[in-house]
Structure 1
Amino acid sequence: MFFTVTSSLLVGFLETLKLFFLTQVFALPLGLLICFGSMSKAKIIRYPIRFIIWVVRGTPLMLQLLIIYYGPGIFLGVNVWGSETSGRFIAALVAFVFNYACYFSEIYRGGIQSIPVGQYEAGKVLGMTDKQIFFKVILLQLVKRIVPPISNEIITLVKDTSLARVIAVYEIIWNGQAFIKSNGIIWPLFYTGAFYLIFSGLLTVLFDRIEKKLSYFR
C-alpha cells in the first residue's frame, strides 16, 4: 500500500510542480510589465491597473480560480476551457499567473521606489538614457532588494497550488484525498505534507544562497 500511495502522490506532485514552475515563468515577467503600468505617468493607464491589482490582492485566490474557470460559461455561455484535464489545468494556470503577477508587481514597485532618486539623477548627469540607467544602475540593486519578498511569495505559491483541486486539477492533495474515499485511510493526506516540506526546504536553501551571492551590495 505504501508504494501504491507514494506512486500516486508522485504523479500528483508532478502536476503540482508543473503548475508551480509555469506560474513563475509567466508571472515574474508579467508582474514587471504590470509594475511599469502601475507607475505610469498616464492616469488612464495607472488608475485601471492599480484598481485591478487592488481587486486581485483583496479577493481570495480560490474565488478567482472559480470565476476564471466557470465565469465564461456562466456569463458568455461558452466553455472556453473545455471539460478535459488540460483545459482545467490551463484555467488554473491563468488564475495563478494573474494573481501572482499582481503580487510580484507590488514587490517590483517597492524595490524600484526604494532606490535613491540621486542615482537616477547621477545617471542623467553622466549622459545615460533611462534604459541604461535601469539596466546598468538600478536592476542589480533591485534584484538584491526584492529577493527576500519574492522568495516568500514563491514559497507561498508551493502551498497555494493545492487550491487548484477546487476545479478538479489532479494535484498532489487531490490524489492523497482520493484514498479516503477509495480505501478509507487518511494517512496519505498527511503524507502529502512531506512533499511540501521537502520542496519548500529546498527552495529556502536555494534562496538563502542567492541572498549570500548578492551580499556584495552591502
Structure 2
Amino acid sequence: MADYFNTMIMPMLEGAKMTILLFLIAIAVSIPLGFLLTLAVNSRFKPLSWLAQTYIYLMRGTPLLLQLLLICFGLPLIPVIGEYLILDRFVAACLGFILNYAAYFAEIFRGGLLSIDKGQYEAAKVLGLNKWQTTTRIILPQMFRIALPSVSNESITLVKDTALLYAVAVPELLHFAQTAVNRDFTIVPFFIAGIIYLLITLVLTMFFKWLEKRFKFE
C-alpha cells in the first residue's frame, strides 16, 4: 500500500513544484508589469495611454486558455517569422500568464489610485513636497495598502489557473493527477490534488494576511 501511495503521490508532488514555480515567476513579473501599465494608462501622452488601455481590454476580454493556446500553438504558424517563435511549453505558459495577469493587476492598481482622496495631493503640496516625494511617500504606499486585498484574491486565482497548463501539455499537478486516475481507475488522486492546491492557497492566504497587518500598522 505504501509503495502504491508513493507511486501516486511522488509524481504529483513533482507536478506541484511546476505549479509553484510558474506561480512564482508569473507573480514576480506580472505585478511590476501591471504597475507600469497603470502608469501608462494614466500617462498624459495619449497614444501610450490608449495602447495600454487597449492591451488591458484585450487581455481581460479574452480567455486565458485561448491566450495560452495562441502563444504555444498559434505563434509558430505565423508566416515567415513563425519558426522563430517556437517556445518551450513552460516558457510559453509563463509568458501567457504574465501577459494576462499583468492586465488584471494594472486594473487593481488603477482602482487603488482612484480611491485615494484628491486632498492627499493638496496636503502634500502644502507641506512642500514635490511631485516625486508626493508619489513615493504618500500616494504609492496608500495605493498598495488599498490594493493588497484584491492582489491577494487575484494571486489565489492565479494558483488555481495554473491547472490550465494541462491543456498545453505542461506536466503540472493536475496532469499527474489525471494520469493516476486513468491508470488506476480511482478518483483518489483528484482529492489529493485538491488538498495540495488548498495547502498552497492556505500558505498564500496567510502570507497576504501578514502583509495586510503589517501595512495596517505602519
Decide whether the 8 Å contact of 1:81 with 1:90 is kept in 2: no
SS at 2:44 equivalent? coil
Question: Does 2:86 match 1:81?
Answer: yes
Aligned to 1:4: 7
How far apart in 2 are the matches of 1:54 and 1:3?
Answer: 45
Q: Which moved more, 1:11-20 or 1:38-47?
A: 38-47
How far apart in 2 are the matches of 1:191 and 1:70?
Answer: 31
How do 1:70-109 residues align onto structure 2 when only pairs under 5 Å count?
70-76=73-79, 77-78=82-83, 80-82=85-87, 87-109=88-110
Name structure 1 gaps, 5 residues minimum: none
Q: Which amino acid aligns with 1:81?
A: I
Decide whether the 8 Å contact of 1:35 with 1:109 is kept in 2: yes
Aligned to 1:138: 139
SS at 1:78 equivalent? helix
CA RMSD of aligned residues (A): 1.5
Aligned residues: 213
Aligned to 2:118: 117
Q: Which amino acid aligns with 1:179?
A: A
How far apart in 2 are the matches of 1:193 and 1:149?
Answer: 23
SS at 1:120 equivalent? helix
How far apart in 1 are the matches of 2:132 and 2:72?
Answer: 39
Aligned to 2:178: 177
In the superposition, the TM-score normalised over structure 1's length comes to 0.92
Aligned to 1:151: 152
Decide whether the 8 Å contact of 1:180 with 1:186 is kept in 2: yes
Aligned to 1:20: 23
Q: Which moved more, 1:171-180 or 1:200-209?
A: 200-209
Report how far residue 91 of structure 1 moved: 0.2
Q: Which amino acid aligns with 1:127?
A: G
Deviation >4 Å, runs of 4+: none
How far apart in 1 are the matches of 2:174 and 2:24?
Answer: 18
Report how far residue 79 of structure 1 moved: 5.6
The sequence identity of aligned pairs, in percent, is: 39
In the superposition, the TM-score normalised over structure 2's length comes to 0.92
**What is the CA deviation profile of residues 113-143 of structure 1, one whole-angstrom value per residue up to 9, with x for unaligned ones?**
2111121122233332222111111122112
Report how far residue 67 of structure 1 moved: 0.8
Q: Which among 51, 54, 57 is matched to residue 54 of structure 2?
A: 51
